[in-house]
Structure 1
Amino acid sequence: MFVPLHDTNPLKRIDFQYVTVGLILLNVAIFVVFQTGWVIPLDEENAAAFAVIPAKLMEGSPDAGTVFASGAFMPERFTLITYMFLHGGWLHLIGNMLFLWVFGDNVEDAMGHLRFIMFFLMCGIFAAVVHAWMLPESELPLIGASGAVAGVIAAYFILHPKVKVWVLALWRIPIRITAAWALGIWILAQFASLLVETEENVAWWAHIGGLVAGATLILFMRRRGVILFDKTRGGA
């Protein structure tokens, strides 16, 4: 596998990727404040209340949800949003945010700020629904922005397949390849992982759901005049 570092693809329609940066800062802030134990520790039980648990989500009961010690009640369907902003550890967080940093700005550029927020959330929601639908009896909590980020990856792949991207191959070798190769390998790896035994703590179906959502939504949510499968290779 590879780690993305930088793409040579300048912004064309927006001055700055405010939403992309905002999402990264929000995810980091939530992790530092609630999940590291440094500020306001969030115990496992309360953390699970904000995660998507397929067995609970698929109950279909309007009363399904979590009652906190304070007496507050959160419906289970709200976890389709909250789960995206919790992560299982520093590596999980850094990996998702690095992909979002490298590829999110140009997808935001193609849509505009408001549409990109909607796009990100919709990809994350669909990813969780697909995960729950494929594993309806699972009681393992689903957390992380991976599904939403997978949607960003699919959109970037469709928008800019020829752009050059710097990546770390095998976590240590810097190489410069096209986005079609870099992201294509990542996308194929997600589908291939469904065919072999994999760790249960990796939500492959959420990744697939996010990819499908991103590839579909970019067709309708991009700005007028934005070309699909752009053949330019990006700036310097």
Structure 2
Amino acid sequence: MERDQTATPPEAERDSAANPAREPAFNLPAGLTFILLFLIAIHVLRTYVLPPAIDQEIIFNFAFLPARYDHPLAEQGLAWLWSPVTYSFLHGSWEHLIFNIFWMVAFGAPVVRRIGMGRLAVFWCLSAAAAVALHTAFHWGEMIVVVGASGVVSGFMGAAARFVFSPSGRISRQFAHLNRRLDVGEALANRSVVVFAGIWFLTNFLIGLGMFTPGGAGSVAWEAHIGGFLFGFLLFSLFDPRD
């Protein structure tokens, strides 16, 4: 995101180990493939087709602005209503979009396989809103333009942490969605989950200090990343059809 800027079934595990060729390196759910193509199409349209003036209108009406909520809602348009979701379909650059696609492929795929497209649509909207809600708490009333799917990607990461790790701590890309979901207490007691979450939070705190980001902390809405992750981690059971 940028500022404008049940364990795996034993037989399946054995089959995967004995026949590694059956687990392709690139095997995405059709629904996730559609989402990625949609994000790419939007960025192509904004970058190469629409004139700059129209693109600025799109940013103003569909990107997220904390400043909107410091003014009476009745005195402005309805962008305050949909922008907590629509900002997640816009990106600041190709690098920004490709970075989000990479992590969405890694962590979005098992989540989509597990919950299906209907629940995914709700998860996407609510995780996007939760991400910018925390961001707004730190930047109330500021004229900061927030775009990107990083908050949702962080939500995928938080959700995936509840089920993708096998007892050995490894991740099987093809069968991770079949694992038993850990409750929050079990997840916090799982070494693999704790290490994964610890590295993730440390990285984002360092981003907040201006590290790991060419543009400095001001170019990354790192608070929104944390909001999305906490949403996915704490509330994933509401979307998970498996016990």
TM-score (norm 2): 0.70
Q: CA deviation at 1:179?
A: 7.8
Residue in structure 1 matched with residue 7 of structure 2 by the alignment: none
Residue in structure 2 matched with residue 25 of structure 1 by the alignment: 37
Query: Aligned partners of 1:179, 1:133: CA distance in 2, in Å?
Result: 27
Residue in structure 1 matched with residue 142 of structure 2 by the alignment: 138
Instruction: State yes or no: 1:201 paired with 2:208.
Output: no
Residue in structure 2 matched with residue 91 of structure 1 by the alignment: 95
Residue in structure 2 matched with residue 40 of structure 1 by the alignment: 50
What are the Cα deviations for residues 69-101 of structure 1, in whole angstroms up to 9, with x where unaligned?
A: xxxxx4322111211111010010000111111
Give the structure with the higher percent strand. Answer: 1
Q: CA deviation at 1:165?
A: 8.0
Summarize the alignment of residues 34-183 of structure 1 with structure 2, pairs less than 5 Å apart. 35-36=46-47, 38-41=48-51, 42-65=54-77, 74-161=78-165, 162-164=169-171
The DSSP-based 3-state class of the residue aligned with 2:134 is: helix
Structure 1 stretches lacking a partner, 5+ long:
1-7, 66-73, 167-177, 226-236
Structure 1 156/180 Cα, relative in aligned 2: closer, same or farther at 3 Å? farther
Q: CA deviation at 1:180?
A: 6.7
Q: CA deviation at 1:159?
A: 1.3
The DSSP-based 3-state class of the residue aligned with 2:75 is: coil
Residue in structure 2 matched with residue 217 of structure 1 by the alignment: 235
Query: Aligned partners of 2:233, 2:23: CA distance in 1, in Å?
Result: 22
Q: CA deviation at 1:219?
A: 2.0
Residue in structure 2 matched with residue 171 of structure 1 by the alignment: none
State the superposition RMSD in angstroms: 2.9
What are the Cα deviations for residues 184-205 of structure 1, in whole angstroms up to 9, with x where unaligned?
A: 5233311344456742121011
Q: CA deviation at 1:140?
A: 1.4
Query: Aligned partners of 1:31, 1:196: CA distance in 2, in Å?
Result: 26
Give the structure with the higher percent helix. Answer: 2
Q: Tell me, yes or no, if the aligned pair for 1:165 and 1:179 is still in contact at 8 Å.
A: no
Q: CA deviation at 1:114?
A: 0.7
Residue in structure 2 matched with residue 4 of structure 1 by the alignment: none
Q: CA deviation at 1:109?
A: 1.7
Instruction: State yes or no: 1:189 paired with 2:203.
Output: yes
Residue in structure 2 matched with residue 68 of structure 1 by the alignment: none
Corresponding residue pairs, total: 194
Query: Aligned partners of 1:61, 1:202: CA distance in 2, in Å?
Result: 27
Determine what percentage of the aligned residue pairs are the same residue: 29
Q: CA deviation at 1:16?
A: 6.3
